[in-house]
Structures are given as C-alpha cells and as structure tokens.
C-alpha cells in the first residue's frame, strides 16, 4: 500500500470539505464549545462554592469534562466520513476514482485519513485551549495546575484517535448501504451513544482515570482492527461498482 | 491492444457477458453496440480491470486481467469515461484534472502542460477555474473526457459519451472524439448511437450478452441485410412490376410513385436484368441506384434475431 496515493485522496477530500459548512461547522464548533464552555462552568462552580469541598469533586468533574474530547472524536469524523464516501456516491465520482491506478486499500486509507486528520487536529487544538483555561481556574481554586496529566495524555493520544478511527470505519460501513450523507451520519451516530453513558457514569462516580481510559483504549483498539477488516471487505472495487446502492 | 478469449462474467445466475472473444488493434476506434443490459458496461469494466471476470482471459495494453499487480499496470495505461461523468462539482475543471493526474503519479510540469493542452482542445481553458457545477452538460462531458486523457493513456474506454446530451452538446463531444481519432488513439466506444458509430468507428461489434457480430460498418452492411435497387422511371406501371418479377423470379418488387423498389442478392448480376425487363415492358429508366442497408437495419436485425458471431 502506497501512503502517497492515500494522502493525495485525503488532501483532495479535505480541500472539498473546507467549503462545506455541514463539515466545518461541527469541526470548529464542537472542540471550541468544549474548550470554552466547560472551563466557564468550572469557573462558575468555583465562584458559587467559594472553595468549600472543591478538592474532592472538582478533579473528578474536570476528568469527566475532558471525556468530551473522546465523545468529540466519535461525533466529528462521522460527518466527514459520511460526506467523503456518500458524497462520492451521490456525485457518482467513485467509478472514475476506482479507474485510477490506486488499490482499494489506498482509497479506503485516503478516505479514513481525510476524516481522521482534521478531527484529531481540531480536538488537539481545542484541548490546548481547554487545558490552559482549566489550569487558569484550578491554580486559584485548588492551588495547582490540573494539566498536563496522564489521563489527558491517554485521551488525546490513544483513546480519541482510536475512537475516531472506530467511528470512521463504522461510517464507511454505513455509507455503503445508504444513499445520502445525512442518513449515513445518523446511523453512524450510534457510535457515541455508549460514550455518552460512560460520560454520565463519570459524572456520577465512575473513575475516568488513566487506568480505566487505557482499558477503554484497548477495547476500541480491538474494535478498530475488526471493523477495518470488515471495511476492507466491503470497500472492494467490484462490490462498490456492482452492489452498492 | 485488446485481446479477449471467451471472456465471461456472471452475477449469480445472471450471465452478463458470455464467451466474448475480440481483438482490437492499436490506433483503432472500436464501437461496441448493444441494447440496454446487453453487457457493454460490464465488458468495459472487466477490460478496464474494475471488476473480475468469471472465466476466459483478456490482455489489455500488454497485461493480463485477473491479478492485482497487472491490473494496476492496466489502469496506469488506460483512460476510462464511465457512463456518469462523476466530476467533483464544487471544484474547478483544472482541479478535477489535477487530482486525477496526481493519482496517475504524473510529474507536476507534464501534468500542467497536459491540463492546458486538453482544456484548450476542449475549448474550456477560459473557464478552467470556474466550479464545474456552473458548466453545461456538454461542458461537463468534455471535462470528463479530458480527465480520462490527462495522463496520456494509450487506450481509452468511453461508455456512452453522448448519452443524455442535447444535440448541440452531443455534437461538441462527437467533434472531440473525431479529434482524438485524428491523434490515432485506440478507443473502445460503448454507444447506443448508431450514427455516431458509423461516423467515428473503424469497426463495430454488436453484443447482446454474446458478441453477435464484429466488423467494419461497410462489411456489416453488405453482409447482414438485404440490398435494394431503386429504379426511377419516367412513369411507373403494374406491367413493369410484373415484368421485373418474371425476369428475376422474385416477389420482392414494389412500386412507390415513379420508383421501382427491387430486392436483390447480387446487384451486379441482377441490375442489367432489371433494366432490360423495364425497357421490354415499355418503361423508361431515368436513374438506377443501389441502396445499402443502414447500420441501424443491421443492428436491429441482429439484435432481434440474436444470431451468434460466425
């Protein structure tokens, strides 16, 4: 598999998405909303509680908030991947693409990268702002800088990328069976439902510390490997040309 | 350039292409005719290494279809225009061509040169930066043809390039095809349009799952349908009709105004007899001409009789 071929496809798709508000809106809005919204909530909590008992529950609350970067990793690429594959189906541009000297795997990798790279870059950018703002509040309220920490490291460099890949592969599978991007996005959105449960569990007491996050990353790692194999089988030239609706 | 032997494609119980054997030489423009569902697109997809064959073999541009490495080489050397143009509407014609040139691993300088040459040839250079969504259907089809040519392929597969175009747009595209023919390109042209095939193709094949016939338009016309002699008379009469019938020993004689229409097998032998019979019956011949069957007649006859190739 030639990475350069996949990267040509990814760059091309990313160039197209730059002009689509349906893709760019969530890509900018979600990380920015998380990065600003939750620190503002923390500042409100700090201000209204006046420092009593913050030591015990504020770290747990912030850990739960940071889990939104995992949820974002599931939400954001579904929109891009849906446009990336279903968009080609709608414009009927898959057949010309398949007629080029690229392998099925290179095309699938290109489509995956076009959804993965902007998602991860947007989440990382948002996380920098989030961590700086949270630190701004925790230095006064808790007396130390909450970030950087290992839990956030695991979220940004293991869990979020794996969840993102998981959501992309699932979107590719869904995209092969539907004929419009909105449906693909809706079906693929089931990805983040279990993550929402985890977030709520984190809010009410489940530890979202480093160890549990690593376990979660392992589970998603296995899921990504399985889904990638299934996607490879479905994203097959002949299957696309003769069976995809 | 293309050599196929017993090429067959089945989808479950359905046989889409059955035992196709075909040779297409370098520089030849080959027209592939057939009704909807006859297997034209499936044939192109097999030869363009897009879908697998069920049985048989085929060599395209020097490589055998059927293994991934060879199929990549085939796709490097061919250009394909599918039946849907499939352009990226939000990007410009230039960007569409540039993307496909990059996927063909062209060096940037050659790519730029080819894009300019093709867009100028298609008369689209002035609009090269406008989004394709603003183009007319004919212009989009020309961009799609340019896309198939951007890497300078040695073999071009065109699937219904003028289908669904208005007459003016179809003429625009046909003119481009004639230009490509002048450049001595090898072209495999799937078409419904018999007039187009007659004007552009060196040879045509007619398919209905099986290849029914293949040959030059002239050979097909002379070999597969009735011939007719048309005699323009000073004045037609039933006596003349009866005289010609008697002379040739056939019932295939009819009068239409002042024209006598006679079905013949061998015009060189029978036309003098027709002339003689007309004169003997008191008629006067003003003009005698031979009418060849159109490709359309050949096509309809073959497709409806479903006669296999000899």
Residues B194 and B253 in one domain: no
Has residue B203 got a pLDDT over 60? yes
Has residue B225 got a pLDDT over 60? no
Has residue B47 got a pLDDT over 80? yes
CB contact under 8 A, A101 and B11: no
Q: Cβ contacts (< 8 Å) between A92 and chain B: which residues?
A: 82, 84-86
pTM metric for this prediction = 0.81
| Total of domains in chain B | 2
Residues B155 and B288 in one domain: no
Taking the C-alpha atoms of residue A23 and residue A41, their distance in angstroms, rounded to an integer, is 27
**Among A residues 11-40, those touching chain B with beta carbons less than 8 Å apart:** 12, 15-16, 19-20
Instruction: Pick B104's closest partner by Cβ from A12, A98, A101.
Output: A101
Q: What is the CATH classification number for the domain harbouring B41?
A: 3.40.50.300
B70 touches chain A (CB under 8 A): no
Has residue A230 got a pLDDT over 60? yes
Average pLDDT over residues A177-192: 71
**Chosen domain end from B170, B190, B222:** B222
- Asked which of A81-95, A198-212, B165-179, B254-268 is least confident by mean pLDDT, the reply is A198-212
Residues B232 and B214 in one domain: no
Helix ranges, chain B (H): 40-47, 68-77, 93-103, 108-121, 137-149, 167-182, 194-200, 217-224, 238-248, 267-280, 295-305
The minimum CA-CA distance between A123 and chain B, rounded to whole Å, is 27
Say if B113 falls within a structural domain. Answer: yes
Residues B100 and B155 in one domain: yes
pLDDT at B176: 82
Average pLDDT over residues B107-136: 93
CB contact under 8 A, A97 and B103: yes
Residues B41 and B63 in one domain: yes
Chain A CA closest to residue B91:
A16
For residues A51 and A33, the model is more confident at A33
**Chosen domain end from B198, B222, B246:** B222
pLDDT at B95: 96
Mean pLDDT estimate for chain A: 86
Average pLDDT over residues A22-49: 88
Residues B197 and B239 in one domain: no
Residue B24: which domain range? 2-222
Average pLDDT over residues A135-148: 87
Tokens 């948002």 -> residue: A126
For residues A174 and B189, the model is more confident at B189
B50 touches chain A (CB under 8 A): yes
pLDDT at B81: 93
CB contact under 8 A, A95 and B86: yes
Substitution target from B63, B83, B103 for chain A, most A beta carbons within 10 A: B103
For residues B294 and B46, the model is more confident at B46
Taking the C-alpha atoms of residue A100 and residue B143, their distance in angstroms, rounded to an integer, is 16
Per-residue confidence band for A98, with pLDDT thresholds at 50, 70 and 90: very high
Strand partners, B63: B60
Q: Cβ contacts (< 8 Å) between A102 and chain B: which residues?
A: 103
CB contact under 8 A, A96 and B100: yes
For residues B196 and B275, the model is more confident at B275
Residues B167 and B217 in one domain: yes
Residues B286 and B205 in one domain: no
Q: What is the CATH classification number for the domain harbouring B271?
A: 3.30.70.100
CB contact under 8 A, B51 and A242: yes
**Chosen domain end from B194, B222, B250:** B222
For residues B39 and A52, the model is more confident at B39
CB contact under 8 A, B84 and A94: no
What are the backbone angles phi and psi of residue B173, rounded to the nearest 5°? -70, -40
Each as own residue / partner, the long-range contacts of residues B57-62 (CB below 8 Å, 24 or more positions apart, any chain) are: B57/B4, B57/B5, B57/B6, B57/B7, B58/B2, B58/B3, B58/B4, B58/B5, B58/B7, B59/B2, B59/B3, B59/B4, B60/B1, B60/B2, B60/B155, B61/B1, B61/B2, B61/B154, B61/B155
Per-residue confidence band for B309, with pLDDT thresholds at 50, 70 and 90: very low
Average pLDDT over residues B168-194: 85
Per-residue confidence band for A245, with pLDDT thresholds at 50, 70 and 90: low
């Amino acid at each position: 598999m030639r990475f350069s071929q996949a990267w040509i496809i990814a760059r091309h798709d990313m160039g197209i998405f730059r002009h689509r508000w349906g893709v760019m809106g969530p890509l900018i809005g979600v990380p920015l909303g998380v990065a600003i919204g939750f620190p503002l909530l923390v500042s409100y909590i700090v201000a209204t509680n006046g420092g009593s008992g913050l030591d015990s529950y504020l770290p747990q609350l912030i850990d739960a908030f940071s889990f939104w970067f995992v949820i974002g990793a599931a939400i954001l690429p579904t929109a891009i991947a849906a446009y990336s594959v279903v968009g080609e189906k709608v414009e009927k541009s898959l057949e010309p693409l398949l007629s080029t000297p690229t392998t099925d795997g290179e095309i699938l990798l290109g489509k995956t990268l076009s959804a993965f790279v902007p998602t991860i870059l947007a989440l990382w950018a948002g996380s920098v702002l989030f961590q700086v703002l949270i630190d701004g509040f925790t230095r006064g309220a808790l007396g130390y800088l909450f970030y950087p920490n290992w839990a956030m490291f695991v979220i940004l460099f293991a869990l979020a990328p794996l969840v993102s890949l998981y959501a992309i592969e699932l979107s590719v599978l869904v995209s092969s069976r539907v004929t419009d991007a909105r449906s693909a996005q809706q079906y693929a959105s089931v990805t983040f439902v279990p993550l929402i449960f985890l977030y709520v569990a984190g809010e009410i007491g489940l530890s979202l510390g480093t160890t549990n996050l690593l376990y979660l990353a392992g589970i998603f790692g296995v899921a990504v490997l399985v889904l990638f194999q299934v996607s490879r089988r479905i994203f097959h030239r002949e299957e696309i040309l003769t069976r995809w609706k | 350039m293309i050599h196929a032997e017993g090429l067959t494609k089945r989808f479950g119980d359905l046989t889409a292409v059955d035992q196709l054997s075909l040779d297409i030489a370098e520089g030849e423009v080959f027209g592939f005719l057939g009704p909807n569902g006859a297997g034209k697109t499936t044939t192109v997809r097999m030869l363009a290494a897009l879908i697998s064959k069920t049985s048989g073999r085929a060599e395209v541009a020097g490589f055998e279809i059927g293994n991934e490495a060879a199929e990549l080489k085939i796709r490097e050397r061919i250009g394909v225009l599918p039946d849907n143009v499939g352009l990226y509407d939000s990007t410009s014609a230039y960007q569409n061509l540039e993307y496909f040139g990059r996927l063909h691993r062209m060096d940037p300088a050659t790519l730029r040169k080819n894009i300019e040459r093709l867009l100028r040839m298609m008369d689209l250079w002035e609009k090269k930066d406008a989004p394709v969504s603003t183009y007319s259907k004919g212009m989009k089809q020309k961009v799609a043809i340019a896309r198939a040519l951007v890497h300078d392929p040695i073999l071009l597969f065109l699937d219904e390039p003028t289908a669904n175009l208005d007459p003016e747009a179809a003429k625009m595209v046909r003119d481009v095809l004639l230009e490509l023919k002048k450049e001595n390109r090898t072209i495999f042209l799937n078409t419904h349009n018999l007039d187009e095939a007659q004007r552009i193709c060196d040879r045509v094949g007619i398919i209905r799952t099986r290849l029914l016939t293949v040959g030059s338009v002239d050979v097909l016309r002379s070999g597969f349908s009735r011939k007719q002699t048309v005699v323009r008379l000073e004045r037609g009469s039933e006596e003349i009709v009866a005289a010609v019938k008697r002379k040739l020993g056939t019932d295939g004689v009819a009068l239409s105004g002042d024209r006598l229409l006679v079905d013949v097998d061998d015009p060189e032998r029978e036309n003098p007899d027709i002339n003689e019979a007309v004169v003997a019956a008191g008629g006067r011949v003003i003009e005698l001409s031979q009418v060849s069957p159109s490709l359309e007649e050949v096509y309809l006859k073959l497709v409806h009789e479903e006669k296999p190739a000899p």
